[in-house]
Amino acid sequence: MKKFDILVIGLMLFSMFFGAGNLIFPPFLGAQSGTSYWPAMLGFIITGVGLPFAVLLAVSLVKGGFQTIGNRVHPVFSKVFMVIVYLSIGPFLAIPRNANVAYEMSIKPFLGESLNSTLFLFLYTVVFFFLVYVISLNPAKMEKYMGRWITPILLLSMIILCAVGFVKMDAPLQSPSGAYQTGAFSKGFIEGYNTMDALAALAFGIVILNSIQQRGVQDSKKLTEYTLKAGMIAGALLALVYVNLGMIGGKMASNESFENGADILSSASTLLLGQSGTALLGLIFTLACFTTVVGLTTACGQYFSNLIPKASYKSVVLVVTFVGFMLSNLGLNQILKVSIPFLVTAYPLTIVLIILTFFNKFFRDSKKVHRSAMLFTGIFAVISGLNAFGLDLGPIQKMKDILPLSSVGLEWIVPALVGTFIGMVLSKFSKKPAMVEQIDVKPS
């Protein structure tokens, strides 16, 4: 495969990953972390870039992708987990979040208070999802639209905003606030969950592999090699953008207090470039969110059309875009309320499963190790998710709170290690003795 093809696929992968969360959370991290910016950003990049890259690599290494990885726990677990992930990164969470954020940043700033924002949101999402549907109908051309046209425009817009920001902004970083005062790295690590890219990588891995295979590459080692190279291009661009957006947030923190990263970028773009800055930021958010929604819609179409033989790819894409359109009109706040509890639950399970994949040869594909590790991780991941919904679980809550790293939201790590160890012990002691080879003795 040509180097240009790898570059185009890498740019397409970047555009698929780079959506609403990737724009909103880095500047807010920069504003809150202040002088603790670099350890916080390092933690963010590990889960926001490193983990999705690891997921892509794991999916490309294992024949059958995540389905095979999940089957090491149990076929039912594999199917249920993937359906939940696809629905979450698809029509029920990530897709409506991206569409709504695109509207909030590109259209709403230009509306007067007297205009009906709900009506304009409806009209905007009609056009937005119609275009998503049209492009998603032909996955083969998605690379052309996103890798060759849309992504370069998006990157150029980002370069302009970041370059002007670094030239005109010289305010010093402020003192860290909140959890960044005592645990900047761990706080940044958890904030990286919000990009949802590790979960999206479970779906995008299939899309990237299909793009490579369409170029005639079938050898498993070559598939992994090209996926790795495309992932490195996308990962490097993501990390570079995160660092720059985070620094803008850090330098804006001295001006006023902000509720979220969108407010920071909106104020920064207007401060730097006036109304032109607002329009530029609107273009950035629209392109970023649009490409991500197209990628997620395509991934959902491919997965569910394979999962349900009677459902065609086109019909799944139609359903996904329609549901995404309907939920987008609920409003951003309602969507975000659901996202954090889900991510707090899903990410630990994903992290542990991917780590087990890379060390699978040491466990000899043992189902006991996988099941025990996921059971112990899952219990505390679910507890954390219920906590994020605002539920206090009484005695169970106290048990969770005394675990190491609980104060920084990583209480699942020790249970995951314990579960893995127990699984290894059970696997070792439950091995069946080797069968004695029978030798047939022919009568003389």
Domain assignment of residue 170, yes or no: yes
Domain assignment of residue 351, yes or no: no
Calculated CA dihedral for residues 384, 389, 391, 397, nearest 10 degrees: 10
pLDDT higher than threshold 50 for residue 441: no
Residues 304, 237 share a domain: yes
| Whole-number average pLDDT of the chain | 86
Task: Report the pLDDT value the prediction gives residue 60, as an integer from 0 to 100.
Answer: 84
Instruction: Give the other-Cβ count within 10 Å of 90's Cβ.
Output: 25
Residues 188, 155 share a domain: yes
HSE of 3, CA atoms in CB hemisphere, 13 A: 0
Question: Which residues are CB-neighbours of 137 under 8 A, at least 6 positions away?
Answer: 314, 317
Residues 191, 258 share a domain: yes
Task: Report the pLDDT value the prediction gives residue 311, as an integer from 0 to 100.
Answer: 92
Task: Report the pLDDT value the prediction gives residue 87, as an integer from 0 to 100.
Answer: 87
Domain assignment of residue 443, yes or no: no
CA-to-CA distance for 322 and 247, rounded, in angstroms?
38
Domain assignment of residue 347, yes or no: no
Give me the helices (H) in 308-412, please. Answer: 313-328, 332-358, 360-363, 367-388, 395-401
Task: Report the pLDDT value the prediction gives residue 237, as an integer from 0 to 100.
Answer: 94
CA-to-CA distance for 3 and 296, rounded, in angstroms?
26
Task: Report the pLDDT value the prediction gives residue 314, as an integer from 0 to 100.
Answer: 94
Domain assignment of residue 220, yes or no: yes
Domain assignment of residue 164, yes or no: yes
Q: What is the distance in angstroms between the CA of the first residue and the CA of the last residue of the chain?
A: 63
Residues 310, 166 share a domain: yes
CA-to-CA distance for 87 and 405, rounded, in angstroms?
30
- Give the position of tokens 């670099």: 38
In 168-191, which positions are buried (b, 16+ CB within 10 angstroms) versus exposed (e)? ebeeebbebeebbeebbbbbbbbb
Residues 315, 220 share a domain: yes
Q: What is the mean pLDDT of residues 406-416?
A: 86
Task: Report the pLDDT value the prediction gives residue 200, as an integer from 0 to 100.
Answer: 87
Domain assignment of residue 344, yes or no: no
Residues 182, 64 share a domain: yes
pLDDT higher than threshold 60 for residue 440: no
CA-to-CA distance for 350 and 332, rounded, in angstroms?
26
Task: Report the pLDDT value the prediction gives residue 114, as an integer from 0 to 100.
Answer: 63
Task: Report pLDDT digits (tens) over 390-399.
Answer: 777 778 878 8
Residues 73, 171 share a domain: yes
Q: What is the mean pLDDT of residues 245-251?
A: 93
Query: Among 10-19, 68-77, 121-130, 168-177, which range has the highest average pLDDT?
Result: 121-130
pLDDT higher than threshold 80 for residue 249: yes
Q: What is the DSSP letter of 402?
A: T
pLDDT band at 431, cuts 50/70/90?
low
Task: Report the pLDDT value the prediction gives residue 443, as an integer from 0 to 100.
Answer: 47
Task: Report pLDDT digits (tens) over 26-46.
Answer: 999 999 999 999 999 999 999
**Percent of the chain at pLDDT above 90?**
35
Domain count, the chain: 2
Q: What is the mean pLDDT of residues 336-345?
A: 77
Q: Is the dihedral of CA 342, 340, 355, 218 positive or negative?
A: positive
pLDDT band at 356, cuts 50/70/90?
very high
Residues 291, 235 share a domain: yes
Task: Report pLDDT digits (tens) over 265-304.
Answer: 988 898 888 888 889 989 998 988 998 899 899 989 989 9
CA-to-CA distance for 426 and 199, rounded, in angstroms?
30
Residues 249, 176 share a domain: yes
Task: Report the pLDDT value the prediction gives residue 184, as an integer from 0 to 100.
Answer: 94
Q: What is the mean pLDDT of residues 359-365?
A: 83
CA-to-CA distance for 372 and 369, rounded, in angstroms?
5
Residues 404, 269 share a domain: no
Residues 274, 397 share a domain: no
Distances (CA, A) of 180 to 23, 40, 173, 247: 20, 7, 13, 15
Task: Report the pLDDT value the prediction gives residue 405, as an integer from 0 to 100.
Answer: 83
Which two structure tokens, joined as six digits, stand for 380?
A: 């505390």
Task: Report pLDDT digits (tens) over 188-199.
Answer: 999 998 888 988
Residues 405, 310 share a domain: no
pLDDT higher than threshold 70 for residue 69: yes
Query: Among 42-46, 206-210, 343-347, 365-369, which range has the highest average pLDDT?
Result: 42-46
Domain encompassing residue 421: 359-428
pLDDT band at 333, cuts 50/70/90?
low
Indicate the range of 112-121, 169-178, 197-206, 418-427 predicted with least confidence.
112-121
Q: What is the mean pLDDT of residues 135-162?
A: 80
Domain assignment of residue 346, yes or no: no
pLDDT band at 442, cuts 50/70/90?
very low
User: 91 or 257: whose pLDDT is higher?
Assistant: 91
Instruction: Give the other-Cβ count within 10 Å of 110's Cβ.
Output: 12
Task: Report the pLDDT value the prediction gives residue 15, as an integer from 0 to 100.
Answer: 86
pTM for the whole structure: 0.81
